[in-house]
Amino acid sequence: MALTGTCTNRVQNKIITTLQMESYETIQVTSSRINLHLQIQPKTDKPKKQIADFINQPCQRQCGIVYCARRKDTVDLAHELKSANINAVFVHGDLNDLERRKHERAWTIGLAQVICATKSFGMGIDRKDEQFVLDMCFPESIDDYYQGIGRAGRDGLLTLCTLFFKHEDRSFHLHNILKIEDKDYQEHKYNMNKMVKYCDSGSSCHHRCILSYFEEVSPECEEHCDICIGDIQSQKDCTINACQKFSGLSTKSGLSNFGVLSAERHLMHTQFPSKVCLS
Ligand SMILES: [Zn+2]
């Protein structure tokens, strides 16, 4: 038996070929995670402060993960969060086993509110009640992004997944890719471009975009991404409409203050001048 998480048909076929499986039956279930509220926010020039402010408002006293691109970023961000009265720990590949387990346990049992981690975090960690997953770094691919946020909302409740994005972040990943002599380079680059397109698609439902990438046909989510709740004409209407919609979600999920503050975030999103609407 061969098992895999969310992947494209191409990857699935590659697994079958690699394992030289000649007679097989494929069982595939949906990759949809409708309880994840997908959101993209413009990233400022001070992302650590932006994330501290973000957590201190809509996600106050909730637990979550912030993904960072570099190990140093996890440390610096944890310090920034602590200075903003957010109890945060960090994990990355340079920690020894004792330190890593200590930090992971602090977060798992609730002593720490936030864990700042590189994308390698999560193996063997099974906390089910994360209420937000923030990406401070630009994901290398949609697979990478969906795998990261896949750790959120495993209790089935509404979970906020916010990606902080600016185009300049691509340069960091391009620099790393160019240093690697890898046969899959072109595919990797291609996937990264799809991630940029996902971030720039100001008119397409985020859930439908992701499921389309995994070759799954899906309707728009209607209320679980910032695009679907953003079909509003004026700034005033936007605030009211978003508040109403999120208030409904908040009641279902039990997340306090999620409604009004999410509407504020939504407003920031719609005012972002470089957000491109593709027809
Ligand atoms: Zn949507």
How do 159-165 and 36-42 pair as beta strands?
Answer: parallel
100 is a domain residue: yes
Question: 10-19, 39-48, 224-233, 237-246 — which one is most confidently predicted on average?
Answer: 39-48
**Per the structure block, which two tokens stand in for 155?**
């209790």
Count of structural domains, the chain: 1
Tell me how far the alpha carbon of residue 19 is from its chain's centroid: 31
DSSP state of 157: S
Q: Residue 199 belongs to what domain range?
A: 33-214
Calculate the CA dihedral of residues 3, 13, 198, 144 and round it to 10 degrees.
40
pLDDT at 246 over 60: no
Q: How far is the CA of 38 from the centre of ligand 1 (A)?
A: 8
pLDDT at 278 over 70: no
Q: How far is the CA of 219 from the centre of ligand 1 (A)?
A: 9
242 is a domain residue: no
- pLDDT value at position 279? 21
Q: How far is the CA of 51 from the centre of ligand 1 (A)?
A: 23
Q: How far is the CA of 203 from the centre of ligand 1 (A)?
A: 10
265 is a domain residue: no
pLDDT at 110 over 50: yes
96 is a domain residue: yes
d(CA 214, CA 50): 31
Please state the rounded mean pLDDT for residues 224-231.
85
For the chain, the C-alpha Rg in angstroms (whole number) is 19
Could you give the angle at the alpha carbon of 273 between the alpha carbons of 116 and 244, nearest 5°?
A: 70
- pLDDT value at position 264? 35
Could you tell me the CATH number of the domain that includes residue 82?
3.40.50.300
Greater confidence, 176 or 221?
Answer: 221
261 is a domain residue: no
Q: With H, G, I as helix, E, B as strand and everything else as coil, classify residue 254.
A: coil
Spell out which residues have Cβ within 5 A of ligand 1, the ion. 205, 207, 221, 225, 228
274 is a domain residue: no
For the stretch 124-156, pLDDT in tens is 566 777 889 999 988 888 888 998 898 888 888
pLDDT at 220 over 90: yes
| Amino acid present at 80 | E
Task: Tell me the C-alpha to C-alpha distance, in Å, between residue 120 and each of 9, 41, 68, 71, 116.
Answer: 24, 23, 10, 11, 11
